[in-house]
Structure 1
Amino acid sequence: MVAIEEGLVGRASDTGGDMSEAIGDHAEGRKISTMEDLSSMVKLASLLCLIFISPWTASADLTMFTVFQIGKQSMTRLRNTHTIVTVNGQYPGPTIYVNEGDNLIVQVENNEPYNVTIPWHGVKQLISHWVDGAAYITEWPINVRSIFDYNFTITGQVGTLWWHADISYERATVHGALVILPRAGNDYPFPKPDAEFPIILGEWWNANVEDMVAGSIPSDLDAYTINDTTRIWVERGKTYLLRIINAAMINHSSVFKIAQHNMTVVAVDVVYTKPYTTDMLVIQPGSTMDVLITANYIGTRVLNSQAVGTGSFNTSATTILQYEGNSSESSFLQQSQAFSLVFNSVGN
């Protein structure tokens, strides 16, 4: 990187006199007579832009390295077993934690029989757009039995984003959280939580998604998913930061709530917000929300609100928020399709 910096600066310095002459010629009313002159000025302007906006001019705080092994994995949901595409055998895939200013290197090993790319949803790819993951737009797909390194720096962003596959049906099961923590020495602009964890809202099909696609996105899913667990443990009196991601492949907004608990929204799509409190969220596909909850429920058992279908699609997902030390005290986290479902405790 230093060699590139020096090369750019050196070339800009070497042509500095030519640029002054060109500006002087223009001031005297001379016309650019050849395409070569115009081309030289455009190239010089581009080089100067690179010098002033390139993230290469500032070294990364740390370099974080991880490996994604993409391949087939047998999974059972709703009493149906399918072979799906996963990262490191996990569904959802692994969560990546970095700090603002870190350099992230993700080595992707494509062990499935299809091409793949990994877009980093929402990451500002400053002069690293060739690793943005948009297949056939900013990069060629990673071929079967090939390895590719995604290498970029996290610049000016703090909060929750996510990564996912970009080609055909693969995104349905190949996705995970990207958590960007504040730079070392910096704090959140809200009270520091006691702990945090991602909440990934996904989808499940009983039919084989690979067979369903046939060049288009599947339409009728059979269930929503919340992470890969039926229970999330909390301690009474502690505050938790939930990093909620709507990883829906189909264009469905999601309603999310926790029975008998309020949530304080503190960030949306890696942008801090003025905190506000609500008991229900509507999260758009591809979006993220950071919310604070306090485990302060007092009672014996909390039941989730029932979902009432108003359309042809009627389903929801439920996960238990379990209080440590008392198996009888719990709350339900629920996700459902917005606009087709309404909660009877909320109304239409």
Structure 2
Amino acid sequence: MGSQKQGLMWLTGLVFLNILVLSMADVHHYEFFLQESNFTKLCSTKNILTVNGSFPGPEIRARRGDTVFVNVHNQGNTAVSIMWEGIEDSNNGSNQLIQPGRNFNYEIELDDKIGTLWWHATSAWARATVHGAFIVLPAANEDYPFPTPDSDKTIIIGIYIYIYMEELTEANQSIALGQSDVYTIDDHTGETNGCSNDTMFEYQVDYQGLYIVRIINAVNETMVFGIASHSLTIVGQRGAYSRRSFTNSLTLAPYQVIDALLCANQNLGHYYITARPSSDTTRSTAGILRYTTTST
């Protein structure tokens, strides 16, 4: 009898908590404009499909229980649809193909999701540039199940394909166009390619600060991510909290998302942030973690 009473009390409390969360839920509206934009990287200018002129696209932020509307206007030249990774059983219109000159207003309900998700174009060629983060924060009355971080940072590992000029080695052959690619951290290709317009990703932290680092692998390859001399504590994956585990580097499957805690507890200075495919240690991109305050 006692166990039944306890079970009823637990169920009543859970229902009350859900009612409380929903009563404090909010509605968010975003406007996405798919546009053809010129980007100059790796000593080459190319036309790519972007969202609101940026690559990666805008970051969406909401709280658990909220509803998000994203009105996507296709001002490009090809029909596109958007996938909301990790959002199931929602009227999100992921199969809606948006023709050039048309728009579609997606509705996404965040009933039980928490942490980091992401959105992207469904076609492979558009996904490379049309993607962004979808951050689901705790509801207004909820706490993190771990020490409250000072702030958070989203890091998207991507790939940038570019055209270059290559001289063929055989005699009497003319110069021909070739194609290659480099990995990016956000939209930064790093400074190892010899092009003055290339930039390096930089993440500034305070000494003894605690941060959530939200890593999204937007590449169709298994990628290895790490921050020199720093360990990471995994706390979430795929829009849910996970059992905590500690690691010096993260291995992310294609299109995987991991939330990790970073404690900035090393000697003041700067440390390399690296991302590389697991199958090829020679191809990588790098950024910088930089401490901004002095130790007491």
Q: Specify which of 237, 241, 247 is matched with residue 212 of structure 2.
A: 241
* 1:317 corresponds to 2:285: yes
Q: Provide closer, same or farther for how the CA distance between residues 172 and 305 of structure 1 changes in structure 2, counting only shifts above 3 A.
A: closer
Amino acid at match of 1:288: V
Shift of 1:81: 1.4
* 1:159 corresponds to 2:128: no
Unaligned runs of 5+ in 2: 1-21, 165-178, 189-200
Q: Provide closer, same or farther for how the CA distance between residues 306 and 145 of structure 1 changes in structure 2, counting only shifts above 3 A.
A: closer
RMSD: 2.6
Q: Distance in 1 between matches of 2:257 and 2:58?
A: 17
Provide the residue aligned with 1:178 in structure 2: 134
Q: Provide closer, same or farther for how the CA distance between residues 104 and 310 of structure 1 changes in structure 2, counting only shifts above 3 A.
A: closer
Q: Provide closer, same or farther for how the CA distance between residues 279 and 69 of structure 1 changes in structure 2, counting only shifts above 3 A.
A: same
Q: Distance in 2 between matches of 1:279 and 1:309?
A: 15
Amino acid at match of 1:106: V
Q: Distance in 1 between matches of 2:144 and 2:275?
A: 35
Provide the residue aligned with 1:298 in structure 2: 267
Give yes or no for contact 1:158–1:180 (8 Å, CA) kept in 2.
yes
Shift of 1:228: 2.8
Shift of 1:253: 0.3
Q: Provide closer, same or farther for how the CA distance between residues 166 and 293 of structure 1 changes in structure 2, counting only shifts above 3 A.
A: same
Provide the residue aligned with 2:3 in structure 1: none
Provide the residue aligned with 1:19 in structure 2: none
Q: Distance in 2 between matches of 1:306 and 1:145?
A: 37
Amino acid at match of 1:228: D
Encode CA deviations 1:87-113: one digit per residue, 9 max, x unaligned: 001111111001111111001110001
Encode CA deviations 1:221-245: one digit per residue, 9 max, x unaligned: 5211111352111111101100110
Encode CA deviations 1:41-87: one digit per residue, 9 max, x unaligned: xxxxxxxxxxxxxxxxx788211001001001111222221111000
Shift of 1:290: 0.3
Matches within 5 A, 1:1-348: 61-126=25-90, 128=91, 131-133=92-94, 138-139=95-96, 141-207=97-163, 221-229=180-188, 230-248=201-219, 251-298=220-267, 300=269, 302=271, 314-325=282-293
Shift of 1:277: 1.1
Q: Distance in 2 between matches of 1:179 and 1:240?
A: 15
Amino acid at match of 1:175: H
Q: Provide closer, same or farther for how the CA distance between residues 237 and 60 of structure 1 changes in structure 2, counting only shifts above 3 A.
A: closer
Give yes or no for contact 2:209–2:264 (8 Å, CA) kept in 1.
yes
Normalised by the size of structure 2, how large is the TM-score?
0.77
Q: Distance in 2 between matches of 1:300 and 1:227?
A: 22
Shift of 1:306: 11
Shift of 1:314: 3.4
Unaligned runs of 5+ in 1: 1-57, 209-219, 327-348
Q: Provide closer, same or farther for how the CA distance between residues 221 and 192 of structure 1 changes in structure 2, counting only shifts above 3 A.
A: farther
Normalised by the size of structure 1, how large is the TM-score?
0.66
Q: Distance in 2 between matches of 1:262 and 1:206?
A: 34
* Secondary structure, counterpart of 1:104 in structure 2: strand
Amino acid at match of 2:117: L
Q: Provide closer, same or farther for how the CA distance between residues 323 and 119 of structure 1 changes in structure 2, counting only shifts above 3 A.
A: same
Structure 1 runs (4+) greater than 2 angstroms displaced = 299-311
Q: Distance in 2 between matches of 1:104 and 1:234?
A: 30
Q: Distance in 2 between matches of 1:62 and 1:91?
A: 28
Count residues with an aligned counterpart.
248
Give yes or no for contact 1:85–1:173 (8 Å, CA) kept in 2.
yes
Q: Provide closer, same or farther for how the CA distance between residues 148 and 301 of structure 1 changes in structure 2, counting only shifts above 3 A.
A: closer
Give yes or no for contact 1:264–1:277 (8 Å, CA) kept in 2.
yes
Amino acid at match of 2:28: M
Q: Distance in 1 between matches of 2:278 and 2:254?
A: 20
Q: Provide closer, same or farther for how the CA distance between residues 314 and 205 of structure 1 changes in structure 2, counting only shifts above 3 A.
A: farther
Give yes or no for contact 2:59–2:133 (8 Å, CA) kept in 1.
yes
Shift of 1:303: 5.5
Give yes or no for contact 1:60–1:103 (8 Å, CA) kept in 2.
no
Richer in strand (by share): 2
